[in-house]
Amino acid sequence: MSRDGDYGRRDVLRAGGIVLGGSLVSGSATAAEGDGSTTLTLLSYNDIQTAAAEDKDFSRLVTLIEEQRAAADGPVVVVGGGDQVGPHALSPISQWRAPVEVLNEVEPDADVIGNHEFDYGLDAISDVTAHSEFPWLATNLVDDETGGAFDGTESTRIVERGGVRVGLIGLLDEGATFGKTNIAFDEEGLTVEDYTETGPAEASRLKTEEDVDIVIALAHTGVPDAEVLAEADTDDAIDVIVVGDDEIVYPPAETSGTIVTEAEARANYLGKLELTVGDDGLTSWQGDLIEVTEDVEKDPTASQIINDYRAEVSLDSPVVETETELDARFSSNYHRETGYGNLITDAMRERVDADVAITNAGGIRSNAVYGPGEITGGDIFNTLPFPNTVVTLELTGEELIETLESQVITLESETGQSFGEEISQQTSGLRFEWVPHEDADELVRDVYVGGEPLDPDETYAVAVNSYIANGGSGYLIEDKVIEDTGELQATTVVKYLEERETIAPEPEGHMQRVDRDLPDASVTVDGNGKVVTQFDAPEDVDSVADETVAVWTPDGEHLDAEQVVFDEDDETLVVRVDDGDLAETVDDADDGDGVALDLYAEYESSEFEQIYFERSRLNADVAATVRRRGRGRAGPPGR
């Protein structure tokens, strides 16, 4: 269920408060003072990713770890939750080297292999492990021939601090491997074992055979799956789960007697747990997440490492001025069309002269907003840090629809129940509706390419990144590549921007969410008076948000309704628009032409409980007949 595209995914707060603590609920008593117990401090971080290319929070995190080490009254263990070596803007220059060199300064006791450790391919893992002065764990990702660790990773690690033996294991789930990498693990002789079975079993072995006092699982699974792991650990062998992958703020909290915590991502937080360990193991704890702020000084060695790599490329050079925000947040790009998504895909489409361009939401990183104002090359590489190139495919109209549908997350799905309904991609050259429900006849419908209705049998040139072309993020594309430019996606966008002095990208109605349909309607547009249409509303409509009701044209122009009246008793919706304004939105149409319009309206639903969106959304197809001569009246209400 964890998603980051990598769907890192999200601006979600899953546990209230920042300072938590208590005695474990697995039957142990709180340790008393003077009983010989030891307080072990556990420091943790995860998903460094894009922060590795900036001399900002990563350098401060190094300092904060050293400060906490020095301030601790007892022994200290430092661990990571995976996804440290990618993606980041220095990937084309340093690949995994910059983050590894900085982490070597931290001297962690262990980290776990996450999906982004595979960003540079499977063979590069052995380079990562060889150059790391700390172990990488992969307890449940095993070599089929040996049954043990692969490419320099370790299955387990035991650390002894202040008389406390700490067992460390590293786990990842299929959601952090398949779909987020293009590696066929089975073909490479690797097996991803069930982390809910391997994890508890290995933790029990460490306690019974290796005499460890506590076991810490580094789990690149996301918090929900980490909680499943805690519940599956019926012997209470795992004491702490340090989580990575879904990139959320999750202060330490107990699940089934196990402490679960995650420090968001991008060096924004440092996790801290003080664990009281006695003769019977872990007895009590207290913990928090420490925010990495500008008040923390940068570690000079970490700063030098990062800045030396930055000096090799022009990451700090301005490339354009933007009048609107460039929204690179995960939540935005997974759920809806963004202006920045349009800019990226417009650049890709122009680069190869394609009909359509598509990019995966998880490929847009940094989870930040840039502008309005000056945009640098580094900003673009921060948001598009993967070594993906721009590729052209040939798809039929039918295949294009299947490709778009592969990214729709329905509200009723497991992921939808966690994060809400999602479209999970950004597009250019397209306009379509997506219906995110399991009972929908079509997940994607009413598709227009270049303003014309899609022809299922026509062949279209589609620009994508190489990750998508190789089947990443679950895209159903195989053997369709006709050209690979060899140019990084980020470079394509930078070149596109360098040709412009200013930009102002905005959403243009490329991807329209629809939860329920209104009846079709027919109207006449002659530029005089008002157009009034009445609809029978679906049964689940409790109220309609007047300010959201608008009429859209096939080319993305829209007109807000003048008046909206919803009658709850009669279950009718009446919408009025100005005929003159409507005529201007279809000014390309000649007298007698028919124009396919769409009406959209947000509403409170008695059936759908939205997770991300504020309200559900209605749609009506409106057939408009244009009359340029004489004066007429709107046609009868549609049914």
Domain ranges of the chain: 19-272+289-308, 316-511, 514-626
Confidence of residue 123 (pLDDT cuts 50, 70, 90): very high
Q: Could you confirm whether domain 19-272+289-308 is CATH 3.90.1150.10?
A: no
Average pLDDT, stretch 577-586? 92
Collapsed DSSP state (helix, strand, coil) of residue 68: helix
Task: Round to whole Å and give the CA distance between 248 and 413.
Answer: 20
Average pLDDT, stretch 460-489? 90
Q: Hey, how many other C-beta atoms are within 10 angstroms of the C-beta on 546?
A: 16
**Which parts of 322-369 fold into alpha helices (H)?**
330-335, 339-352
Same topology between domain 316-511 and domain 514-626: no
Residue 90: name the closest of 311, 263, 337 by CA.
311
User: Cis omega (within 30 of 0) on the bond before 87?
Assistant: yes
**Superfamily holding 316-511:** 5'-Nucleotidase, C-terminal domain (3.90.780.10)
pLDDT of amino acid 35: 66
Q: Is the pLDDT of residue 64 over 90?
A: yes
CA 38, distance to chain mean position in Å, is 40
pLDDT per residue as tens digits for the range 285-321: 999 999 999 999 999 999 999 999 888 776 888 999 9
List Cα–Cα distances, 104 to 62, 128, 131, 132, in angstroms. Answer: 10, 11, 9, 6
Half-sphere exposure of 175 (CA within 13 A, CB side): 21
Q: 482: exposed, middle or buried (C-beta count within 10 Å: 0-12, 13-18, 19+)?
A: exposed
CA 261, distance to chain mean position in Å, is 19
Q: Is the pLDDT of residue 252 over 80?
A: yes
pLDDT of amino acid 634: 40
Average pLDDT, stretch 117-141? 95
Task: Round to whole Å and give the CA distance between 582 and 314.
Answer: 48
Query: Tokens 């067992």 correspond to what residue?
Result: 167
Which helix (H) or strand (E) covers residue 401, if one does?
helix 397-405
pLDDT of amino acid 629: 63
Q: Which segment of 299-313, 446-460, 508-522 scores lowest on mean pLDDT?
A: 299-313
**Average pLDDT across the chain, whole number:** 91
Task: Round to whole Å and give the CA distance between 219 and 425.
Answer: 27
DSSP single-letter state for residue 116? G
Q: Is the pLDDT of residue 617 over 60?
A: yes
Q: 248: exposed, middle or buried (C-beta count within 10 Å: 0-12, 13-18, 19+)?
A: buried
pLDDT of amino acid 24: 47
User: Cis omega (within 30 of 0) on the bond before 372?
Assistant: yes
pLDDT per residue as tens digits for the range 494-508: 999 999 999 999 999
Confidence of residue 9 (pLDDT cuts 50, 70, 90): very low
From edge to edge, which strands make up the β-sheet containing 389-396? 425-428, 356-360, 459-465, 389-396, 481-488
> What percentage of residues in the chain have a pLDDT greater than 70?
92
pLDDT of amino acid 91: 82
Task: Round to whole Å and give the CA distance between 217 and 229.
Answer: 10
pLDDT of amino acid 33: 47
Taking the model in full, what pTM does it have? 0.77
Average pLDDT, stretch 460-478? 90
Structural class in CATH, domain 514-626? mainly beta
